[in-house]
Amino acid sequence: MAKRSRYVDAILIVYGVYSVALGTFMLVSPGVFFDTLGAFGPRNNHYIFDNASFELPLGLLFLAALRWPTWRVPALAFATAHWALHALSHIVDTHHGAGTGVGLLEFAGLAISTVLLAAALRSSVAESRMQ
């Protein structure tokens, strides 16, 4: 078996826990989620729950990829695409309820996360080729 990358493990843990926590936060407290992070347009609990139903399983997928290394490349490829598209949506619509600066800050965080996930994906692809 090829040497496991600590970087990839760290990314899977950090983004797995983050996505599970975010999805749970959205399910448990959609109003607080909207007021603090999701204040784009009018509040819509249905869409918040829809996003939670995506974010929570994504986090569980990351965490499962720690146990099953063959899941790493698909999980990271999917997540990298998700974060890139999410970043794109935030640069297209920066009108956060707390101001455009917050919208741009959210875009920056999403863009940086996309780069981190893409690097983990690249490392996982290289690891899978060595096996």
Q: Tell me: the pLDDT tens digits for 76-110?
A: 999 999 999 999 988 887 776 667 787 888 899 99
DSSP 87: H
Closest to 29 measured CA to CA, from 8, 53, 48: 48
Average pLDDT, stretch 45-66? 95
DSSP 68: -
Q: Looking at the domain assignment, is residue 103 inside a domain?
A: yes
Residue 99 confidence (pLDDT): 73
Q: Looking at the domain assignment, is residue 83 inside a domain?
A: yes
- Answer yes or no: are the C-beta atoms of 63 and 13 closer than 8 Å: yes
Domain count, the chain: 1
Closest to 22 measured CA to CA, from 81, 93, 83, 105: 83
**The model's pTM:** 0.86
* Enclosing domain of residue 109: 6-130
